[in-house]
Amino acid sequence: GSKLGGRRYEIITMKGSFHGRTLATLKATAQTKYQNGFGPFLPGFKYAPFNDLKGVKKAISSKTCAVMLEPIQGEGGINVASETFLRELRQFCHKEEILLILDEVQCGLGRTGKMFAYQHYGIEPDVMTLAKPLGGGMPIGATLAKEKVASAFEPGTHASTFGGNPLACSAALAFLKVVKKENLVKKARERGNYFRARLEPLKKKYSFIKAMRGKGLMVGLELGFPGK
């Protein structure tokens, strides 16, 4: 029988992650600098090293219901999930009947040169979160889930005072139309390639540029100065 549901409640998140500023998402965020001054936090979150499948497996227990991560860590420093890691993690979660949740709040909706960052990896999550660019400045977030997960909810089991706000939803629809009409995903890919190609000589020229990471127009430079 399926292990989904039942009494499992633990969620594994990645070190260096950022998932939000509610009590639950602060605990999901594996960076103490964001947690300082808050608490007590919810139990049930465990941290594993990013891009380390062995580390994730080590954190798994009989209580684990999900693994949640950003395909590209935003606040963590534009850390890109390797293809091997994300593909093997997808296979592992499927085999163990553990949900794979991808937080695409920062990296989703075209920024990386694909509509969703997971599309770079040839996989699909069970659950995905979207927000930041979705409303073009209007406050809106969305959770997308496969039917096997979404069917756990019935009308009224999960509600929000301002959820489904008509103005915010109209803004989101307008955003999606503009993305499609103006080919913004393709432009992010092309301009991202150009941008990174122009940054490469700077990396060779200046020793304080330690690394360049990213996909599309989601790009980060890691700087290192003597004594810092």
Phi-psi region of 68 (alpha: psi -120 to 50; beta: other; left: phi over 0): beta
- Write out pLDDT tens, residues 74-93: 999 999 999 999 999 999 99
90 and 201 housed in the same domain: no
Region 44-67 average pLDDT: 98
176 and 217 housed in the same domain: no
Residue carrying structure tokens 């009947």: 97
Distance CA 92, CA 53 (A): 9
Q: Is residue 17 part of a domain?
A: yes
What CATH number should be reported for the domain holding residue 170?
A: 3.40.640.10
State both tokens at 66. Answer: 């999900």
Give bridge partners of residue 129 from the DSSP assignment. Answer: 103, 143
pLDDT at 1 over 60: no
90 and 140 housed in the same domain: yes
Check residue 82 and give its pLDDT.
Answer: 99
Check residue 137 and give its pLDDT.
Answer: 94
Q: Please give the share of the chain, as a percent, with pLDDT higher than 90.
A: 91
Region 192-220 average pLDDT: 96
Q: Is residue 81 part of a domain?
A: yes
**Mean pLDDT of the chain, nearest integer:** 96
Known catalytic residues are 18, 103, 132
CB-CB contact of 132 with 141 (8 Å): no
Q: Is residue 114 part of a domain?
A: yes
CB-CB contact of 67 with 93 (8 Å): yes
105 and 215 housed in the same domain: no
Q: Are strands 45-48 and 10-14 parallel, antiparallel or unpaired?
A: parallel
Q: Please give the share of the chain, as a percent, with pLDDT higher than 70.
A: 98
Q: Is residue 60 part of a domain?
A: yes
175 and 217 housed in the same domain: no
The dihedral built from the CA positions of residue 12, 17, 23 and 27, taken in this order, carries a sign that is positive
Distance CA 117, CA 110 (A): 8
- Write out pLDDT tens, residues 146-195: 999 999 889 888 888 999 999 999 999 999 999 999 999 999 999 999 99
Name the 3-class secondary structure at 228. coil
Residue of 85, 96, 74, 98 lying closest to 52 (CA atoms): 85
Region 208-218 average pLDDT: 97
Check residue 174 and give its pLDDT.
Answer: 98
Check residue 225 and give its pLDDT.
Answer: 85
CB-CB contact of 108 with 117 (8 Å): yes
135 and 209 housed in the same domain: no
76 and 25 housed in the same domain: yes
Q: Is residue 5 part of a domain?
A: no
H or E element at residue 138: none
State both tokens at 62. Answer: 């009989």
CB-CB contact of 83 with 186 (8 Å): no
pLDDT at 4 over 80: no
pLDDT at 7 over 70: yes
95 and 32 housed in the same domain: yes
141 and 155 housed in the same domain: yes
pLDDT at 102 over 70: yes
Q: Is residue 168 part of a domain?
A: yes
Check residue 80 and give its pLDDT.
Answer: 99
How many domains, in total, are found in the chain?
Answer: 2
CB-CB contact of 18 with 34 (8 Å): yes
62 and 140 housed in the same domain: yes
Whole-structure pTM value: 0.95
127 and 201 housed in the same domain: no
Q: Is residue 4 part of a domain?
A: no
Q: Is residue 228 part of a domain?
A: no
Phi and psi of 86, rounded to 5°?
-70, -40
User: Which residue range forms the structural domain that includes residue 145?
Assistant: 10-181
147 and 205 housed in the same domain: no
Check residue 228 and give its pLDDT.
Answer: 66
